[in-house]
Amino acid sequence: MVGFLSGLPAGVPVSLDFVNHELWRRQQGYGRGGRMKIERDTGRILSGVRHGKTIGSPIAVLLENRDWKNWQEQLPVESGDPKLHKRVASPRPGHADLAGALKYNFSEARYVLERASARESAARVAIGALVKLFLRELGVEVLSHVVAVGAARLEREIPWDEIRASCSRDEVMLNCADPEIEPRMKDEVDKVLRTGDSVGGVFEVVAHNVPPGLGTYAQWDERLDAQLAAAVMSLQAVKAVEIGSGVTAAYSPGSAVHDEIGYSGVGFTQFSRTRNNAGGIEGGVSNGQEIRVRGYLKPISTLRRPLQSVDFATREPVKAAYERSDVCVVPAAGVAGEAMVGLTLARCALEKFGGDSMTETCRNFKGYVEQLRAY
């Protein structure tokens, strides 16, 4: 896979170790399948970075598929031997198999899952690592944690320091910051491992130290919440996105929802809030609080005890195809969610501060921060 990124200013320090660590984080979590054991993703930067820094031109990152060597005869670039082709004979409910085969006029779903698979999210994480390095220069950090796996879920808001501690563990179970809830999440995964089923859940991405003023209410597609929702929803298996406490807000009175304003704070301005139900965005604009975005994942579509389907060739009822698969990917999806939130914030930051070099971008950024302090 090759990921491309264009638009980063020149002079962003790039650490390949950081890129690879982010790729490692995407491969972790209890409930991942066999592929994670075959492959340890590493990125190779092909262009756009020299002497450890971006140079303002497009960046290309190559991620090799180690598993490819086992597939060269089944999926050759050339016409190859059709007898060696491995069909995905019956579409899996919940996957792109049927819709993709109909759309592209394929007689079965092998080519569909090549691209519809969340394998693609590895490229987003590699590119996301680069934008995180850019955001870090502005003091912005983006991390995630797991809020729910199946029926096991957190009932409290997790502060930034606990999220950071959870993300810096060397062994990742389910990236839940609460040590009492995490084993209950593991039980949920064990249950589906026993029964041949799969399980979904909820991750939360938190962007820390984001200045007020990113995004705008001026046009519908420039609203930060709309951009973040589209970015996170674009991840495989994400079926709902929540900003702040948006879901419970819909069932609560206004007095319990809106975050009262004071004037004794520290941060970008003296304005303060007693809570952050808005998830750091009001009117489509960042308000200086932490940005909190949740992604709700449906359970994985490939089941060891498959659901009912139809054979592509005979149209007879059969069980859906089974391929080696994960059963729970909530922590990994959270890491991919960080990349999507990072990309969105970086784009908004560059729209606001501009700059072809980091010297220029940081000078513009500092000028704005001074303006906020003097407000």
Ligand X SMILES: Cc1cc2nc3c(=O)[nH]c(=O)nc-3n(C[C@H](O)[C@H](O)[C@H](O)COP(=O)(O)O)c2cc1C
> Contact positions toward ligand X, by CB under 6 A?
33, 94-96, 116-118, 121, 235-237, 300-302, 325-326, 329, 332-333, 336
Q: Decide: 108 and 222 in contact? Cβ < 8 Å.
A: no
Say which residue the tokens 């979590």 belong to.
29
Q: Decide: 46 and 64 in contact? Cβ < 8 Å.
A: no
Distance CA 222, CA 204 (A): 22
Three-class SS of 193-209: HHHCCCCCEEEEEEEEC
Nearer to ligand X, 25 or 95 (CB): 95
Measured over the CA atoms of residue 154, residue 159, residue 163 and residue 165, the dihedral's sign is negative
Nearer to ligand X, 55 or 233 (CB): 233
Residue 119 CB, nearest distance to ligand X (Å)? Answer: 8
Nearer to ligand X, 35 or 136 (CB): 35
Residues 132-151: b if buried by 16+ CB within 10 A, e if exposed? bbbbbebebbbbbbbbbbbe
Residue 82 CB, nearest distance to ligand X (Å)? Answer: 26
If residue 272 lies in a helix (H) or strand (E), which one and from where to where?
Answer: strand 271-273
Residue 167 CB, nearest distance to ligand X (Å)? Answer: 16
Residue 333 CB, nearest distance to ligand X (Å)? Answer: 4
Nearer to ligand X, 95 or 186 (CB): 95
Residue 113 CB, nearest distance to ligand X (Å)? Answer: 8
Nearer to ligand X, 301 or 344 (CB): 301
